[in-house]
Amino acid sequence: MAAHWASAGSFCPTDVDNALRQHLWNKKETKDFAEKMWETTLESLFWDYSYVTGKIVATTDVSQRVSTHEGTWFSVAVGAYAAAVKLKNEVYAKKIFDLISFEMDRELKIAEFWLATDPFTFCRLTALLSHNLGDFDRVVEVSGLSNRDPLMSFYKLSEKAGSLWALACIYYKKYVSADGHRNFALRNPKCLRTHSDLLIGVGPFHEDWGSKIAFTTHLTEAEKAEVAIELVDGWSRLKGETWGYPRAYRGLTDKLPLKSLQPYWNAKQLKLVQDARFQTKVKMPRSQFEARFTRSLSELQRELL
């Protein structure tokens, strides 16, 4: 759990998902450790992940905070709940069910808050809500739980007609999901692993992250140039209509003159930077870029709600 929490928001997460969701609960030794495992599952929802991920949407006072870590928690909690049901431990089954219910309700209220107060933040939030529900559903499907189990009331919330969950998930799929990849291109510049300030946030809204890379004292000029060219190269290899890397590149080069980066690039890399489609996405004004998302949200909201 500690390994997964510490790395889930990084460029190189540990591959322990299946062990946490299912395999550890099926070992013959589990009966001897089950209560401690259940307690750890319950406690981990409240672990402070703010130091290890940039994929967070929160108010300034952090009273309304969501990240992909809650989805990671959902997937572990479903496995823990299924184990409690299988072992006929009604006490822990209820505790875990109640906490899952609490978290589902909390995230729904946060979605309501942002939709009412800042639709653009709601657009960013849809990536997190969709991820979290997806993690929940995937583990339910392999949990062996009965269709009559009370936990099934949260299954497929993304398809509940007329709900805010459905709005968020449909919006994400239509307008944001192309940038919901795992940033494999950014595994190449190992300099990004040197400080938590360098962790990337929710795509495709990466301009502020790009500016942070430009200003950071944790990277040398040569390392910043490496990050910039990986953004261009990474974008060229992605499928679909993606915007995240061009917007990050805009944020970086708005604050750091190109003439300071170009000496570190070869002729092939310079040609990549000059790609017309890439430059069109880089040059789009931020207000125009963000308006695309809020306008689409407004149209979808009228259609679904």
pLDDT score of 19:
82
The pLDDT of residue 197 is: 94
Query: What are the E-state strand segments in 51-108?
Result: 56-58, 65-67
Q: Where do the domains of the chain lie? A: 2-178, 184-292
Residue pair 36/29 in contact by the 8 Å Cβ criterion:
no
pTM score of the predicted model: 0.94
**CB 42 within 8 Å of CB 89:** no
pLDDT value of position 22: 84
Give me the residue label for tokens 């460029």: 11
Cβ contact 7:52 at 8 Å: yes
pLDDT of residue 18: 82
| Helical residues (DSSP H) of the chain, grouped into ranges | 2-7, 17-21, 30-44, 69-86, 90-117, 119-142, 164-171, 207-215, 221-237, 244-255, 258-261, 267-273, 276-283, 286-304
Contact in structure between 240 and 178 (CB atoms under 8 Å): yes
pLDDT score, position 277: 96
- The residue type of 16 is V
Q: How many CB atoms lie within 10 A of CB 239?
A: 7
Q: What is the mean pLDDT of each successive set of 10 residues along the chain, which is 305 residues long? A: 93 86 88 95 96 94 91 96 96 98 97 96 98 96 96 97 96 96 92 96 97 97 97 94 97 92 94 95 97 97 92
Report angle CA 90, 92, 93 to the nearest 5 degrees: 60
Residue pair 111/125 in contact (Cβ under 8 Å)? The answer is yes
The answer to whether 192 and 186 have CB atoms below 8 angstroms apart is: yes
pLDDT at position 257 is 87
